[in-house]
Structures are given as C-alpha cells and as structure tokens.
Amino acid sequence: MKEYDAIIIGTGQAGPSLAKRLAASGMNVAIIERKLFGGTCVNTGCTPTKALVASAYAARMVSRAAEFGVMVDSPARVDMKRVKARMEAIVSPSTKGVERSLRNAERCTVYHDHARFVSPREVAVGKEVLSAGRIFINVGGRALVPDMPGLDQVDYLTNSSLLRSDVLPRHLIIVGGSYIGLEFAQIYRRFGSDVTVIEMSPRLVSREDEDVSASVHDILQAEGINIRLNAKCLTVARRGNDITANVECTEGAPEVVGSHLLLAVGRRPNTDDLGLEKASVTTDDKGFIKVDDQLRTNVPGIWALGDCNGKGAFTHTSWNDFEIVAANLLDKDERRASDRIPAYGLYIDPPLGRVGLSEAQVRKSGRPALIATLAMEDVGRAFEKSETQGFMKVLVDQETKQILGAAILGTGGDEVIHCLLELIYARAPYTVMQRAVHIHPTVSEFLPTMLGELRPLS
Ligand SMILES: Cc1cc2nc3c(=O)[nH]c(=O)nc-3n(C[C@H](O)[C@H](O)[C@H](O)COP(=O)(O)OP(=O)(O)OC[C@H]3O[C@@H](n4cnc5c(N)ncnc54)[C@H](O)[C@@H]3O)c2cc1C
C-alpha cells in the first residue's frame, strides 16, 4: 500500500492542473491515466477536430478561390494522409507535454494504468493499491453507443476511431445531428465525401432556438450535406461492403446507403468500470457522479470534476472545475459551479458562439425582455470577407438592462460572443457596450448597433 495526500484519477482538463497545484502546495500526489495523457480534448476531441476544421476550411476556400479573383488552375485534391499528419503534429506535442509536465512535477507520481476504487480511501492501479485522504475523479466520458437494431452487424465509427483513420469515406452516414456530428459532417463534406446526417429530432441542434437550427441547416445543406430529420426508428444493416440505414422519415427515400457509419448521439461518463460502489459514491441513472456546488461527492474526501459530474461537457467547464476545487481547498475562496455562465461554441463554418439563455428559455421564464437580431449580411466585415451566412441575436432583461443570452452564428462568432459573456459576468447593463467605441471593421462593432435596435420580446 502506498500512501499519498491526494490521488487524482484521469488526466483530462482538470486533473493535471489540480495535481500540479496540490503538489506545489506541499502535498504528495498520485495521478493515474489509463490511456492517453490529456484525455478527450487533447487526443480525440477539441484539438484534433479543430485541426481538421482548419484543413476543411482551406479546402473550402480553394474551391471558392475564383470568387476572390484567385485562379487555381488545376483541380485541388485533399490528401488525407497529409491532413492526418498535420492533425497529429498538432495533437502529439500536447499529449506529450501533459505527460512530461506531470512526470517533472515535484511530489507528483504518475501511474499509467486503469484505476479502480477498492474502498472510499483506496484505489487499485495494476497490482498496487494507493491510499489517500483526498481522491479526485476526472475520468471524462466516451461516445455513447445506442441500442440500435442492426448495429452488431456493421462496423461503426466513433469520434475516436474516425480520427485514427486516414481514409476518405465515399459516403459517410452520421447518426446524430448535434454538435459533434455536425462538425464532422462539414469537415468530411469539404474533404470530398458524400455525407448524410440522420437525426431523430425534427431539427438539427435541437437544444438551440429554432431560428439557429434553421440557419445551421441551410448552411450545411448549401454545401451538399444530405439531412434526414425525424428518423425515430432508425435501423442499420450490412449490404455487401456498404452499410444501409433504414430511416423512418415523413419524407425522402426510406433507405440511405453509405460506405461508413459514424455514431455521434451523445457521450456517456467513464464511471461504469471505476469501482464506485466500493467507495459508496452515488451517481444518477446515466452514471454521472452526483456532486454539490463545490464538486464534492456524497462521500467526504472524494470530489468529481469534468464531464463525469454532469455539470458541464466542455473543456472550459472541466478546467473551471479545477479552479473551483483548488480555490476552495487551497485559497479559502468559496468558488461555486453555479457561478458559471453557460457558454460554448459549435465549430462548423461559420461557427456558432452561444452564451446564457436561449430565446426559448427566456420566453419560458416569462420575464419581460427585449430582443434584437442582425443578419450577418448587414455586417460590413462579413461582407468584405464574403462570409455572410448566419445572424446574431441578443436578449436583454427589460428592467435591469442586463444581457440574458446571445447567439452569434457567423464569421468570428466563437470569439465575438466573449464581448457579451464579459458583460453578463460583470452584471453590467447593455448600455455600457454602447459607450465603448469598437474597432472598425470587425464583427464586434455591430454588437452596439444591434443593441440599438432592441424591441420587446412579444
Ligand atoms: C469530437 C469532440 C469534440 C469536442 N470539441 C470540443 C470543443 O471544441 N470545445 C470544448 O470545450 N469541448 C469539446 N469537447 C468536449 C471536451 O473534449 C471535454 O469536455 C473535455 O475533454 C473535458 O473532459 P474531462 O476533463 O472531463 O475528461 P477527459 O478529457 O475525457 O479525460 C478523462 C481521462 O480519464 C482517463 N480515465 C478514464 N477512466 C479511467 C480510469 N478508471 N483509470 C485511469 N484513467 C481513466 C481517460 O483515459 C481520459 O484520459 C469535444 C468532445 C468531443 C468528443
């Protein structure tokens, strides 16, 4: 039995930083990773997908080059081996960097194996048992494989296996029309695959407002992505070398035939093989570990951070979990998860930046509110770049004049949204922004313009 002051399970976005902070404060820390250092974001999530988004953008701009007066004389070709090599050259230093920084940290011991609780204070790693008074779980999640008829007869891909491949699918069928599925859809369409997205809801990204879903739909459809909605009774089957998806839709062909199948229907937490029952840590019915506002589980001395606690599904929320735990334990600063303002991006091109409440949520709340929208066609910078798809929308509390939420679907939307995020966090009225002189020509300079056109949300 080896004794430590703290054990951290998983090297996602929270674990490594927490390990280094705790070790720097004088604690002896063990950190355990069963697979790839850096976890999902670095290896099979944000970093590789955004590297591919960049390659796909390059392909798109080459295909549009003549619009900009740039003549490309021979047909452009996407070399998937080079695309993948570029992606790996971006991912690999991050993976290695996380491992190196942990191994080099004083008072920090790294274990590379699967961890499993054997009691509330003990964790088995390979043949060893480690014990500590404080245990932090940062085990993340993996692709959810649905209970879909026929799936056992076909080879299917998840985000992880698709990212390992350097083959360009002839026809990629994607089950799931939400954030992960849509990013892959546009990436592979731009590389040259035929792509069909199959979604069981009546619209894409169904957690967003209807106007956002409709605009995302138009953007993807305009690039030749085939979209099938209301696919409630989806089954799949093998036909020769192909995969058929039987789609029960109200319209369109009943069957889609493709060469590859990607599942992008959600994520499940890596808590089923962690021995949580030995530690009496409770989860909800989907396996997410139940935590309080300071990310403490029901068992004193055990915390859960990142995707596995169900309070966030993003790199920045997991990182914020680290900040919350470190602040409470080391800084006497009672930070809480409920202080966090929901914010995220959807990295299709143009991207969607989102913060705070949606229009539907504001309507449901019944509070008196104001709304303004602006088409990206009316934004000078977007026009100059010939990237005019999308729109912006902002919602404001009528009484306090504070911003309640916003969506920016358009060029630079993932960056521009931060102007609004800061105002919300500062609880400042929107009129503050109208006094700040924004830089021309930018997308951000049109935020005060849009705020000048607020009208009651009827
Ligand atoms: C395709 C894709 C794209 C994404 N894009 C974005 C994006 O653009 N922006 C964004 O904010 N988020 C994005 N995300 C989400 C983001 O990757 C996660 O929210 C983020 O990685 C936070 O994860 P985490 O810290 O909870 O743990 P993870 O990063 O999932 O890491 C958990 C680690 O724990 C290890 N582990 C699990 N069980 C054990 C065990 N028993 N013993 C030892 N080790 C264990 C795992 O091997 C893993 O390394 C994306 C996700 C996917 C799948």
List, chain by chain if needed, residues with CB within 6 Å of any ligand 1 atom. 9-14, 32-36, 39-41, 44-46, 49, 114-115, 138-141, 159, 180, 270, 274, 306-308, 313-316, 318, 347
- Cα(361)–Cα(358) distance, rounded to whole angstroms? 5
- Cα(334)–Cα(325) distance, rounded to whole angstroms? 9
pLDDT of residue 254: 84
- Cα(284)–Cα(145) distance, rounded to whole angstroms? 19
pLDDT of residue 253: 79
Sign of the C-alpha dihedral computed for residues 326, 328, 333 and 337 taken in this order: positive
> Which segments within 188-254 are labelled E, that is strand?
194-198, 226-228, 235-239, 242-246
Average of per-residue pLDDT values in the chain? 97
- Tell me which residue of 159, 196, 169, 207 sits closest to 50, measured CA to CA: 159
Confidence of residue 232 (pLDDT cuts 50, 70, 90): confident
Quote the ligand 1 centre to 308 CA distance (angstroms): 9
Q: Is the pLDDT of residue 57 over 70?
A: yes
pTM of the predicted protein model: 0.97
List of long-range contacts for 182-185, beta carbons under 8 Å, 24+ apart: 182/216, 182/220, 182/346, 182/348, 183/49, 183/53, 183/346, 183/347, 183/348, 184/49, 184/159, 184/262, 184/264, 185/220, 185/225
pLDDT in tens, 310-350: 999 999 999 999 999 999 999 999 999 999 999 999 999 99
The closest-lying atom of ligand 1 relative to the alpha carbon of residue 344 is 11
pLDDT in tens, 59-103: 999 999 999 999 999 888 999 999 999 999 999 999 999 999 999
Confidence of residue 7 (pLDDT cuts 50, 70, 90): very high
In 10 A of CB 431, how many CB atoms?
11
pLDDT in tens, 172-207: 999 999 999 999 999 999 999 999 999 999 999 999
Percent of the chain residues topping a pLDDT of 90:
96
pLDDT of residue 250: 66
pLDDT in tens, 390-427: 999 999 999 999 999 999 999 999 999 999 999 999 99
pLDDT of residue 233: 81
Between 220 and 249, name the one with better pLDDT. 220
pLDDT in tens, 18-49: 999 999 999 999 999 999 999 999 999 999 99
Sign of the C-alpha dihedral computed for residues 12, 18, 24 and 30 taken in this order: negative
Between 349 and 249, name the one with better pLDDT. 349
Quote the ligand 1 centre to 12 CA distance (angstroms): 5
